[in-house]
Amino acid sequence: PQNVAVIGGGLAGSEVAFSLALSGHKVSLFEMKPNKYSPAHTSSDFAELVCSNSFRSADHTNAIGLLKLELKELNSLTMAVAEETKVPAGKALAVDRELFSKYITAILEQTPNLTIIREEVCHLDLNLAPLKGFDKVVLSTGPLSSEPITEALAKLTGQDSLYFYDAIAPIISAESVDRSIVFAGSRYNPEEEDYLNCPFTKEEYEVFYQALINGETVGAKDFEKEIHFEGCMPIEALAARGEKTLLFGTMKPVGFEDPRTGRRPFALLQLRPENRNKETYNLVGFQTKLLYKEQERIFRLVPGLANAEFIRHGSMHRNTYVNAPKTLNADLSLKANPKIHLAGQITGVEGYLESAANGLWLGFYLANNLSGKNLSPLPETSVLGSLMNHLQRETKNFQPSNVQYGLMPELHIKAKKKSRKELYAQRTREAFEEWLSTLPQ
Interface residue with ligand FAD among 28, 52, 111, 323 (CB under 6 A) is: 52
Q: Which stretch binds ligand FAD (CB under 6 A): 58-66, 253-261, 290-298, 347-355?
A: 347-355
Interface residue with ligand FAD among 40, 126, 240, 301 (CB under 6 A) is: 40
Shortest reach from residue 430's CB to ligand FAD, in Å: 27
Q: What residue number has its CB nearest to ligand FAD?
A: 10
- Subset of residues 111 to 150 that bind ligand FAD, contact rule: CB under 6 A: 120-121, 140-146, 149
Shortest reach from residue 100's CB to ligand FAD, in Å: 12
Q: Please, are residues 320 and 144 in contact by the beta-carbon 8 Å criterion?
A: yes
Check residue 30 for interaction with ligand FAD (CB under 6 A). yes
**In this complex, which beta carbon is closest to ligand FAD, that of residue 10 or of residue 273?**
10
Check residue 90 for interaction with ligand FAD (CB under 6 A). no
Contact code string over 9-28 relative to ligand FAD, x by CB under 6 A:
xxxxx---------------
Contact code string over 290-319 relative to ligand FAD, x by CB under 6 A:
---------------------------x--
**In this complex, which beta carbon is closest to ligand FAD, that of residue 76 or of residue 381?**
76
Interface residue with ligand FAD among 6, 21, 27, 51 (CB under 6 A) is: 51
**In this complex, which beta carbon is closest to ligand FAD, that of residue 63 or of residue 431?**
63
Kindly state the greatest CA–CA separation across the chain: 71
For the chain, the first-to-last Cα distance in angstroms comes to 18
Q: Which stretch binds ligand FAD (CB under 6 A): 198-206, 244-252, 344-352, 368-376?
A: 344-352
Q: Please, are residues 209 and 269 in contact by the beta-carbon 8 Å criterion?
A: no
Shortest reach from residue 427's CB to ligand FAD, in Å: 25
Q: Please, are residues 17 and 27 in contact by the beta-carbon 8 Å criterion?
A: yes
Check residue 280 for interaction with ligand FAD (CB under 6 A). no
**In this complex, which beta carbon is closest to ligand FAD, that of residue 13 or of residue 379?**
13
HEC per residue, the chain: CCEEEEECCCHHHHHHHHHHHHCCCEEEEECCCCCCCCCCCCCCCCCCCCCCCEEEECCCCCHHHHHHHHHHHCCCHHHHHHHHCEECCCCEEEECHHHHHHHHHHHHHHCCCEEEECCCCCCCCCCCCCCCCCCEEEECCCCCCCHHHHHHHHHHHCCCCECCEEEECCEEEHHHCCCCCCEECECCECCCCCCEEEEECHHHHHHHHHHHHHCCECCCCCCCCCCCCHHHCCHHHHHCCCCCHHHHCCCCCCCCCECCCCECCCEEEEEEECCCCCCEEEECCCCCCECHHHHHHHHCCCCCCCCCCEEECCEEEECCECCHHHHECCCCEECCEEEEEECHHHHCECCHHHHHHHHHHHHHHHHHHCCCCCCCCCCCCCHHHHHHHHCCCCCCCCCCECCCHHHCCCCCCCCCHHHHHHHHHHHHHHHHHHHHHCCCC
- Subset of residues 349 to 408 that bind ligand FAD, contact rule: CB under 6 A: 351-352, 355
- Could you check whether the bond before residue 130 is cis, i.e. omega within 30 degrees of 0? yes
Check residue 82 for interaction with ligand FAD (CB under 6 A). no
Check residue 71 for interaction with ligand FAD (CB under 6 A). no
Check residue 163 for interaction with ligand FAD (CB under 6 A). no
Check residue 105 for interaction with ligand FAD (CB under 6 A). no
Check residue 282 for interaction with ligand FAD (CB under 6 A). no
**In this complex, which beta carbon is closest to ligand FAD, that of residue 52 or of residue 323?**
52
Check residue 161 for interaction with ligand FAD (CB under 6 A). no
Shortest reach from residue 27's CB to ligand FAD, in Å: 14
Q: What angle do CA 163, 234, 228 make, to 5 degrees?
A: 35
Q: Number of C-alpha atoms within 13 angstroms, CB side, residue 287? A: 17
Check residue 31 for interaction with ligand FAD (CB under 6 A). yes
Check residue 41 for interaction with ligand FAD (CB under 6 A). yes
Shortest reach from residue 197's CB to ligand FAD, in Å: 20
Shortest reach from residue 196's CB to ligand FAD, in Å: 19
List contacts with ligand FAD (CB under 6 A): 7-13, 30-33, 38, 40-41, 50-52, 120-121, 140-146, 149, 166, 168, 317, 344-346, 351-352, 355
